[in-house]
Amino acid sequence: MQKIVTGLGIVFVFMFAACKKQAPISGHPYKPNGNIDSFISAMDVSSLSMVLRQGEIFKDEKGNPVTIFPFLKSKGINSLRFRVWVGNDPNYQSDSILKLVNLARKEGLLIWIDLHYSNTWADPGNQQIPKEWDQSNLKNLGADLKSYTERMLQTFNPDMIQLGNEIDGGFLWPKARISDTSAFYSLLRLVSKTTRDFNAQIPIMYHISNYQKADYFYNELDAHGVDYDMIGLSYYPKWHGYNTDSLFQTMDRLHANHGKRVIIAENSYPFTLSWADWTDNVMGWEGDLHPNYPASTNGQYEQVHHLIKGCRNRSFASGYAYWEGTWVAFDGPESKEGSLWENQACFDFAFKALPVLEAFKP
């Protein structure tokens, strides 16, 4: 597929090419939208480090080219989530993500940094210690963990920070599995204190993948003296079931028991079961779907609208984040290294905005 590199696309390509290394952000957390305690309407857009480098142009519903961050803001999104990997991955290393952060911040969007503490994906089945870190003993590993966390705080000075990604089973395996309570909780206390020492006003989130395990997980955080502000839960019908009443009841219970803000930190839904490249999609058959919501543009909208409405109806300030709404098939129709998420993006295969974006508006 011929790459579209005209108009606004040239601006993004130029900025990515010209800014080889971005200067770290300094000073107090930047709060362009005022009170961060208001509803968090968010999207993870980390893959833009690839998409914008390729020069793809996003479009509005009528097919007119748009600049992505102002456009998302116009739809009611006030926060953007960015994952960061340790090391030199060209897409998710800190330098690459900082270019996006700087562009987003100019548009007055809140910055949510998600530290994976790994060279690659961190999730319930994968929490590898970065190869650069000293694994000889827990003390040395903790020193590397603290130093890295300090550097990322200095680099991004985020409006909120997520320490670890989907850490149901612990992190930094095999040293800090959740079964090794002494190691796991001591390292969580370390990164929480590191954040507080940097700036006590930055909200700290701990995030797990399965809300059905949340009561136990956060009870244990409290029992082991871990300092944090926010509870983040993933919810995907494919893996976590269809009972959203149970999800919302869990959120209410967690807030009542722990006094923390509780948000849906990850969710998405397919608008089709088709594909736009040859990279295998994560969700691609009927069994991946919620029975109430077909894989259609309306089904995608209704699923997201239901969850956002439910979060807005909580008695406390909650929030919702869509995972990778901009991960379109950026590398051409025959790419095997393209997007595994293009049928769950918030833009169609021609990069036009989908109705789901209207669900973010208050």
* pLDDT tens digits, one per residue of 88-144: 999 999 999 999 999 999 999 999 999 999 999 999 999 999 999 999 999 999 999
- pLDDT digits 0-9 by tens, 256-307: 999 999 999 999 999 999 988 888 888 888 889 999 999 999 999 999 999 9
Tell me what pLDDT residue 27 has. Answer: 39
- Binned at pLDDT 50, 70 and 90, residue 56 comes out as low
- Give per-residue burial for 8-40: e unless 16+ CB within 10 Å, then b: ebeebbeebeeeeebeebeeebeeeeeebeebb
3-state helix vs strand vs coil in the chain, percent to 5 = 35, 15, 50
Q: What is the mean pLDDT of residues 64-80?
A: 97
What is the C-alpha separation between 317 and 304, in angstroms, rounded? 18
Q: What is the mean pLDDT of residues 76-85?
A: 98
Q: What is the mean pLDDT of residues 1-29?
A: 40
Q: Does position 25 have pLDDT exceeding 70, yes or no?
A: no
- Binned at pLDDT 50, 70 and 90, residue 36 comes out as low
Q: Does position 9 have pLDDT exceeding 60, yes or no?
A: no
- Binned at pLDDT 50, 70 and 90, residue 331 comes out as confident
Instruction: Pick one of 3.40.120.10, 3.30.390.30, 3.20.20.80, 3.40.190.170 as the CATH number of 8-360.
Output: 3.20.20.80
Tell me what pLDDT residue 207 has. Answer: 98
Quick one: what percent of the chain has pLDDT higher than 90?
80
Tell me what pLDDT residue 263 has. Answer: 98
Q: What is the mean pLDDT of residues 306-328?
A: 96
82: CB partners within 8 A, 6+ apart = 44, 45, 46, 97, 100, 101, 111, 112, 113, 114
Which of 30-44, 187-201, 229-243, 264-278 has the weakest average pLDDT? 30-44
What is the C-alpha separation between 116 and 129, in angstroms, rounded? 10
Q: Does position 317 have pLDDT exceeding 80, yes or no?
A: yes
**Tokens coding 203:** 């909200």
Tell me what pLDDT residue 146 has. Answer: 98
190: CB partners within 8 A, 6+ apart = 142, 145, 146
**DSSP E strand stretches across the chain:** 40-44, 79-84, 110-115, 160-163, 170-171, 176-177, 204-208, 230-234, 261-266, 319-323
What is the C-alpha separation between 121 and 46, in angstroms, rounded? 12
DSSP secondary-structure letter at 136? S
For the chain, the domains span 8-360
Q: What is the mean pLDDT of residues 74-93?
A: 97
Stronger pLDDT, 126 or 27, i.e. the higher one: 126
Alpha helix segments (H runs only) across 157-296: 181-198, 214-223, 237-240, 244-258
Cβ(54)–Cβ(330) under 8 Å? Answer: yes
Q: What is the mean pLDDT of residues 48-58?
A: 86
Which three-class secondary structure state does DSSP give residue 356?
helix
Cβ(311)–Cβ(304) under 8 Å? Answer: no
Tell me what pLDDT residue 286 has. Answer: 87
Q: What is the mean pLDDT of residues 241-263?
A: 97
What is the C-alpha separation between 315 and 343, in angstroms, rounded? 33
- Binned at pLDDT 50, 70 and 90, residue 337 comes out as confident
Q: Does position 240 have pLDDT exceeding 80, yes or no?
A: yes
Report how far apart, in Å, the C-alpha atoms of 173 and of each of 113, 118, 126, 336 are.
21, 10, 8, 29
Cα–chain center distance at 24? 21
Which of 47-61, 167-181, 264-278 has the weakest average pLDDT? 47-61
Report the 10 Å Cβ neighbour count for 341: 21
pLDDT, mean over the chain: 90
Tell me what pLDDT residue 300 has. Answer: 98
- Torsion angle of the four alpha carbons 249, 116, 289, 269, in this order, in degrees rounded to the nearest 10: 90
Stronger pLDDT, 156 or 38, i.e. the higher one: 156
What is the C-alpha separation between 160 and 110, in angstroms, rounded? 8
Which three-class secondary structure state does DSSP give residue 117?
coil
- Binned at pLDDT 50, 70 and 90, residue 53 comes out as confident
Q: Does position 23 have pLDDT exceeding 80, yes or no?
A: no
